[in-house]
């Protein structure tokens, strides 16, 4: 934790190149791009159910068609090749592989990923698989979802099926993407599927996601070749107290506990932080929730920590006499219009958006949050290689009559954030690569199709992909392995 905007990596303007072997990538997720939700045996996930529920997503948008990547994947791999990507990070849809969340694999579902991986390898692009990016099979939610312990075991069985199918050709494996969102937006504030608003359920979900991660690591280690790299991607909150007051620093500590250390504690240190356990003891009975052996499972060593970063989180204590309003807290945190704060037990923490430029999501643009987070992880977990597995921005892109998308704000955002990565590396952080979010515009969850994060613009009527100026810019960065001069 650092005071707002005070700490940043030392500037090093003399060197703009990234280390040799730095992996340049772009990322997507199954439900956000695939479409084809009812073909080849796929059954509904919690996001199908949620997005089809009136009022849950902007404009009632669903992933039914998305960017039709399930059918257009070859064309999309060609776009990746034009960018010169070294790696492509995508997620596997559990509902496609194992529709009810248990039992044997549906080969037609796995075949899609086999074809995609083959196509990537033919183009010299390294596949990086994410095993879970929020789309739990609905059948598993119906019997308890992530708050139920059994879901961790179901996840491990599913992971074994995917590892068996793709293990010989995929070298980078991520167990979970942003489990904080799955637990706290899905079961806490309810702005994500399955839309439950129960802080105790959110904390139970967090533990079972941790357990599912640990069991998945065990399965992957047993199934994959020795040189496969196993990771988890966390959206760690760069939490900054609004002021240096004891009350604001205490607010930051609490958000750091339930936003970050609820995952990094057990995964990387083998224990839940004492302060988290104390803060949330009124919500869950941790000694009953955490069984003997769970922590050893969760702490199985990983090879890479994925860091997803968009914006810092500035917090303060509620002024004396002001009533807590946890729905407002959720809104102000930039986490949607939820019924209550996603941060379990923290209704009395206020969130502040730093002044200055913001993205179309309303998220303040502050690259120092990325360098500070990378350096914190380097300090606290020395020897653990890091990878930026998501970073990018939505802006109000316009497709011109000439078929161009001029997006200088995205180029600025990317340049500043890549420079923050470079500075963190120069200061000692072992950052192995960068995956830009996202390859193409896609279904932005509760925001529907209104928010565009892509390097490629997608016309959702015709499914035409158009390279934005930022795509050309990123291709040059990749080609040179260095940032061009801003001029």
Query: Does residue 390 belong to the site contacting ligand IFM (CB under 6 A)?
Result: yes
Q: Long-range pairs for 281-285 at CB < 8 Å and ≥24 separation?
A: 282/345, 283/199, 283/200, 283/203, 283/344, 283/345, 284/200, 284/203, 284/204
Is residue 449 a contact partner of residue 61, using CB atoms and an 8 Å limit?
yes
Nearer Cβ to ligand IFM (192/253) = 192
Cα angle 279, 340, 391 (rounded to 5 degrees) comes to: 85
- Each residue 240-279 as x (binds ligand IFM by CB under 6 A) or -, in order, gives ----------------------------------------
- Nearest residue to ligand IFM, by Cβ distance, number only: 29
Nearer Cβ to ligand IFM (29/219) = 29
Nearer Cβ to ligand IFM (28/297) = 28
Least distance (Å) from ligand IFM to the CB of residue 94? 15
Active-site annotation holds for 119? no
CA end-to-end span of the chain: 34
Q: How far apart are CA 211 and CA 349, in angstroms?
A: 28
Active-site annotation holds for 250? no
Which residue among the candidates 119, 178, 238, 444 is catalytic per the annotation?
178
Is residue 267 a contact partner of residue 338, using CB atoms and an 8 Å limit?
no
* 356-384 burial: b if 16+ Cβ within 10 Å, else e: eebbbbebbbbbbbbbbbbbbbbeeeeee
Query: Does residue 437 belong to the site contacting ligand IFM (CB under 6 A)?
Result: yes
Is residue 200 a contact partner of residue 143, using CB atoms and an 8 Å limit?
no
Query: Does residue 397 belong to the site contacting ligand IFM (CB under 6 A)?
Result: no
Query: Does residue 444 belong to the site contacting ligand IFM (CB under 6 A)?
Result: yes
Residues 6+ apart with CB under 8 A from 151: 101, 136, 140, 144, 145, 208, 212
Partners of residue 185 on adjacent β-strands = none
Q: How far apart are CA 176 and CA 262, in angstroms?
A: 14
Site for ligand IFM in 170-209 (CB under 6 A): 178
Is residue 210 a contact partner of residue 263, using CB atoms and an 8 Å limit?
yes
Nearer Cβ to ligand IFM (70/453) = 453
Nearer Cβ to ligand IFM (41/334) = 334
Applying CB under 6 A, among 95, 174, 210, 308 the residue interacting with ligand IFM is 308
Nearer Cβ to ligand IFM (294/444) = 444
Least distance (Å) from ligand IFM to the CB of residue 293? 31
- Residue 420 to residues 12, 21, 86, 313, 427, Cα–Cα distance (Å): 10, 18, 20, 17, 10
Query: Does residue 146 belong to the site contacting ligand IFM (CB under 6 A)?
Result: no
Applying CB under 6 A, among 1, 23, 29, 314 the residue interacting with ligand IFM is 29
Least distance (Å) from ligand IFM to the CB of residue 270? 27
Least distance (Å) from ligand IFM to the CB of residue 429? 21
Nearer Cβ to ligand IFM (112/453) = 453
Which residue among the candidates 390, 416, 444, 476 is catalytic per the annotation?
390
Least distance (Å) from ligand IFM to the CB of residue 135? 10
Q: How far apart are CA 136 and CA 154, in angstroms?
A: 11
Q: Where in the sequence numbering do the catalytic residues fall?
A: 178, 390
Residues forming the site for ligand IFM (CB under 6 A): 29, 32, 178, 308, 390, 437, 444, 453
């Amino acid at each position: 934790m650092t005071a707002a905007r005070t700490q940043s990596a030392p500037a090093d303007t003399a060197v703009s190149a990234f280390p040799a072997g730095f992996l340049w990538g772009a990322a997507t997720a199954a439900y956000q791009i695939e479409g084809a939700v009812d073909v080849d045996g796929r059954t509904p996930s919690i996001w199908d159910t949620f997005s089809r529920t009136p009022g849950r997503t902007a404009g009632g948008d669903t992933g039914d068609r998305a960017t039709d990547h399930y059918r257009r994947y070859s064309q999309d791999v060609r776009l990746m090749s034009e960018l010169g990507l070294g790696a492509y990070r995508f997620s596997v849809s559990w509902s496609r592989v194992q529709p009810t969340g248990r039992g044997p694999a549906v080969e037609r579902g796995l075949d899609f990923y086999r074809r995609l991986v083959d196509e990537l390898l033919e183009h010299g692009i390294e596949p990086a698989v994410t095993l879970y990016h929020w789309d739990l099979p609905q059948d598993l939610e119906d019997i308890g979802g992530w708050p139920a312990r059994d879901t961790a075991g179901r996840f491990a069985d599913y992971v074994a099926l995917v590892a068996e199918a793709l293990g010989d050709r995929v070298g980078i494996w991520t167990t979970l993407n942003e489990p904080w969102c799955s637990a706290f937006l899905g079961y806490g504030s309810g702005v994500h599927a399955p839309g439950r608003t129960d802080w105790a359920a959110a904390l139970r979900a967090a533990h079972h996601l941790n357990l599912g991660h640990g069991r998945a690591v065990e399965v992957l280690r047993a199934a994959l070749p020795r040189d496969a790299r196993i990771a988890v991607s966390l959206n760690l909150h760069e939490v900054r107290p609004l002021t240096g007051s004891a009350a604001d620093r205490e607010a930051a500590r609490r958000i750091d506990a339930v936003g970050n250390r609820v995952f990094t504690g057990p995964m990387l240190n083998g224990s839940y932080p004492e302060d988290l356990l104390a803060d949330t003891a009124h919500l869950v009975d941790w000694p009953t929730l955490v069984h003997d052996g769970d922590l050893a499972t969760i702490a199985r060593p990983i090879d890479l920590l994925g860091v997803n970063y968009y914006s810092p989180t500035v917090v303060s204590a509620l002024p004396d006499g002001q009533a807590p309003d946890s729905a407002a807290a959720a809104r102000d945190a930039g986490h949607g219009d939820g019924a209550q704060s996603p941060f379990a037990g923290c209704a009395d923490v206020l969130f502040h958006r730093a002044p200055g430029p913001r993205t179309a999501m309303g998220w303040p643009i502050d690259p120092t949050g990325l360098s500070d987070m990378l350096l914190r992880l380097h300090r606290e977990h020395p020897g653990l290689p890091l990878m930026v597995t998501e970073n990018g921005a939505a802006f109000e892109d316009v497709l011109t009559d000439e078929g161009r998308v001029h997006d200088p704000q995205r180029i600025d955002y990317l340049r500043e954030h890549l420079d923050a990565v470079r500075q963190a590396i120069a200061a000692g952080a072992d950052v192995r690569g960068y995956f830009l979010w996202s390859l193409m515009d896609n279904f932005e969850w509760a925001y529907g199709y209104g928010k565009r994060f892509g390097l490629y613009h997608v016309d959702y009527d015709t499914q035409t992909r158009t390279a934005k100026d930022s795509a050309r810019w990123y291709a040059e960065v990749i080609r040179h392995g260095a940032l061009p001069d801003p001029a």
